[in-house]
Amino acid sequence: MSASPKSSAASPQLPPPAFHDPRHHITIYQGDCLEILAALPASSVDLIFADPPYFLSNDGITCHAGRMVSVNKGSWDRSRGPEVNHQFNTAWLAACQRVLKPDASIWVSGTSHVIHSVGFAMQQLGFKLLNDISWVKPNPPPNLSCRYFTHATETVIWAARDKKSRHKFNYKLMKQMNAGKQMKSVWTIPPPEPWEKKFGKHPTQKPLALLERILLASSSEGDLLLDPFLGSGTSALAAIRLRRRAIGCEFSADFLTLSLSRICSDLIQVEISVSSFEFSLDLFRDPVDRSNWTRSLAMDAPATTRLIRRERNYYFVGASRREVIFSAAADDLADAWRKFGTSSARETEVIFIIKTETEIYLA
C-alpha cells in the first residue's frame, strides 16, 4: 500500500496593496501586521521602525492645547492586561525578527505603558539591545493631577536582529549632524509641526525629524524599511525623502487614508498657472474717461456676479513615468475613466488622478 502524500499548508499570500508606487518603491498594505509579516520573505528587510499600541487608553484625562481631553485613542489602544499585552508584543516582534536581514536592526518607540514589555520581549527573543534613546519633548502637556512628574519623554529602543548581527551605524554622519561631537542617546526633538498635521491628526504621530534621524543613523540609500504600524505614514515620508524603499502595514482605514493623503501630497507637485486672459468687453465707442463713473457705480450698486463658465478636468499621472499621461474634461471620475479607456494611454499604469474644477464669474 503506497503512502499518501504529505499535506502541506499553503504559504501565506500578501493581499493586494492599498498603495504601490514602483518609482519610489513604496508599498502599503491594509490589514493585520502579523498576517502581512508572515507573507513577507524571510531575511528581506534592512530596517524596521515600529510604533506599536501603547495600551494607555484607560479612561483617564490629559491636557491638549490647553484643554482637558480623554486619553482614549480607540479600542486598538486599550489594555487587555499585562500578560496579553506582552504576548502581543512578543508575537509581532518575533514576526519582525524573521524578516530582518542578519545585520539589520529595529527601532521601537513607546511610553512606559508598553516599552518595558517590548524590551523584555526583545531579550526573550534574542535581539541584541544597542541603545535606548530618550526622546525629549520641549513642550510636553502639563500633568493635570499634580501627582506625577510631567511626562516629557518617550523611549525608543534600538536593537539588532541577534547577538551575531553587525548592525549598520552611520557614526560619522551622526557626529557631523551634532556639530562634530558624538551624538548622545538623549534627543531633543519638537513634536510634529502644524504642517505635518494639515491632512489630519494621529494620536501618536511622530515628528518627521525623528524618523529622518533614525533612517540616517542606521540605513543607506536604497535600503528597505518596514513599518508594521504605519499610522499617519511618517516613516514612509521619511523613506521617500531620504531615498529608501518602504513597506508599511496599517489596520485602520481612517489612518490608512491619512497616511496616503500625506504620502501622495509629497510624491506629486502640481503647478497650475494662468498665462494670460485677454478680454474685449468695451461696448462704448466714445473715447471718454469713465474711471470716475465706474468707481461710483461699484460703490453704489450691490456686487453681483454671474457664472459664465465651469470646467471639470481630470489628469491621469503615470506610475513609472511621473507625468500627466492623459487629461480630459469629464462630468465625473467614472466618465474620465471611460475616456481614458479609449485613449492611446490606456495600457499605461496610473498612480494618481488629479481633478481640477474651474469657475469663471462675470463681476
Would you list the DSSP string of 14-61? PPPPSEEETTTTEEEEES-HHHHHHHSPTT-EEEEEE-------SS-E
pLDDT of residue 360: 77
Does residue 287 have a pLDDT over 70? Answer: no
Mean model confidence pLDDT for the chain: 83
Burial grade of 141 (CB within 10 A; 0-12, 13-18, 19 or more): middle
**Contact by Cβ (8 Å): 90, 96:** no
pLDDT for 284 beyond 50: no
Least confident of 22-26, 214-218, 285-289, 303-307: 285-289
Residue 294: predicted pLDDT: 44
Average pLDDT over residues 130-147: 86
Burial 99-136 (b: 16+ CB within 10 A, else e): bbbeebbbbbbbeebbbebbbebbeeeebbebeebebe
Least confident of 57-66, 156-165, 253-262, 279-288: 279-288
Q: Residue 248: helix, strand or coil by DSSP?
A: strand
- Mean pLDDT across the stretch 188-216? 90
Which residues, 6+ apart, have CB-to-CB distance to 340 below 8 Å?
316, 326, 328, 346, 350
Q: Over 50: is that where the pLDDT of 70 sits? A: no
Per-residue confidence (pLDDT) for residue 9, from 0 to 100: 59
Specify the pLDDT at position 141: 75
Name the pTM for this structure.
0.74
Instruction: Report phi then psi at 299, rounded to 5.
Output: -80, -35
Question: Minimum mean pLDDT among 135-139, 151-155, 286-290: which range?
Answer: 286-290
Whether the predicted pLDDT of 6 surpasses 90 = no
- Who has greater pLDDT, 278 or 157? 157
Please say if the pLDDT value at position 32 is more than 50. yes
pLDDT cut 70: percent of the chain above it: 80
Q: Is the pLDDT of residue 82 over 90?
A: no
Which one has a higher pLDDT value, 97 or 76?
97
**Which 8-state DSSP code applies to residue 127?**
-
Q: Which domains does the chain have, with CATH numbers?
A: 19-267 (3.40.50.150), 304-362 (no CATH)
Residue type, 139: N
Lowest model confidence (mean pLDDT) among 7-16, 68-77, 155-164, 253-262: 68-77
Tell me what the mean pLDDT of segment 54-79 comes to: 54
Rounded to the nearest 10 degrees, what angle do helices 234-241 and 208-218 cross at? 50
On whether the CB atoms of residues 313 and 355 are closer than 8 A, the answer is: yes
pLDDT tens column, 224-282: 999 999 999 999 999 999 999 999 999 999 899 999 988 888 887 655 444 444 444 44
The C-alpha cell at 187 is 534627543
pLDDT of residue 75: 59
| pLDDT value of position 113 | 84
Band of residue 58 on the pLDDT scale cut at 50, 70, 90: low
